[in-house]
Amino acid sequence: MMKILNFKNILVLDTSTFFFKFMDFFMNDLSNINQLVKESIANNRAIIIILQTKERINLIEESTKFGFDIEELKSIGLIKFLDAGLFLSNLILDNSELDSIALKDSVSHTIINSNLNFSKVLLIDGMVDMLLRKGNQESAIFLENQIQAMALEQGFDLYIYDSVVKTFSENESLEISSVDASIITSIGNSVRNGLETAGNTLESLAKPSTAKLNSFTLPL
């Protein structure tokens, strides 16, 4: 069973039923990530963490409360850190558009390498949150759609905190329209509703595509 998890508003994706739902979960992000790391250690699951430098340092400090050493786990290949800002900046074209194909290739390459030694991989993404905190909601929505589609296609577990994509069930259309999609996000403890997202099906997002978001803006 593959799960897409968001612990502020947990988005759980079960690939056997394509059932999505949100639940409230009031815990600290770093504690949630460390709990996922602890569970992954027990299940021999590799973890790829894409965070900014400050968040990575705080995460490592927080991990001591959970009884494991992240630096040691890095040395044996169980955990791999990627810098969110650098990783994302390498995917931006000269015309400020996100290169969807390069994004898929980069994530796939990292997942495949981790799968060489571990049977399962968990991707923890902080790029969406990074964009949201800078007010780039449209870019965050587009990026999350891309990452979720890859998780569906490739079968890796995914944690995206501050998820912004609407949930839906198997009985609903898989098409996320700009009219029906209700974007839910939390920025500075406030919830902003009513944002619109471009129409796209998860199936089309999962296929190699040259589709890009105009003026994909990076945090300053």
Residue 215 in any domain: the answer is no
Q: 199: Cβ–Cβ under 8 A, 6 or more apart, which residues?
A: 175, 176, 177, 178
CATH assignment at residue 199: 3.40.50
Query: ∠ at Cα 54 (51, 56), nearest 5°?
Result: 45
Q: What is the pLDDT of residue 164?
A: 60
Residue 64 in any domain: the answer is yes
Structural domains counted in the chain: 1
Q: What is the pLDDT of residue 80?
A: 92
Domain that residue 39 falls in: 4-206
Distance from C-alpha of 199 to C-alpha of 63, rounded to nearest angstrom: 40
| Alpha carbon distances (Å) from 129 to 119, 155, 191 | 28, 22, 14
| Contact yes or no for 1/14 (Cβ under 8 A) | yes
- The model's confidence at residue 28, banded by pLDDT at 50, 70 and 90, is low
pLDDT digits (tens, 9 = 90+) for 163-177: 666 433 333 333 333
- The model's confidence at residue 217, banded by pLDDT at 50, 70 and 90, is low
| Residue 183 in this model has a pLDDT that exceeds 60 | no
- Look at 182 and 49; give whichever has higher pLDDT: 49
| Residue 43 in this model has a pLDDT that exceeds 90 | no
Q: For the chain, give the longest Cα–Cα distance.
A: 48
Residue 74 in any domain: the answer is yes
Q: What is the pLDDT of residue 218?
A: 52
Q: What is the mean predicted confidence (pLDDT) over 22-38? A: 64
Residue 180 in any domain: the answer is yes
| Contact yes or no for 47/79 (Cβ under 8 A) | yes
pLDDT digits (tens, 9 = 90+) for 51-100: 988 888 888 888 888 888 888 888 888 899 999 999 988 888 776 778 88
- The model's confidence at residue 220, banded by pLDDT at 50, 70 and 90, is very low
Residue 219 in any domain: the answer is no
Residue 49 in any domain: the answer is yes
Report phi then psi at 92, rounded to 5.
Answer: -95, 130
Residue 55 in any domain: the answer is yes
User: What tokens appear for 41 in the block?
Assistant: 């250690």
Residue 214 in any domain: the answer is no
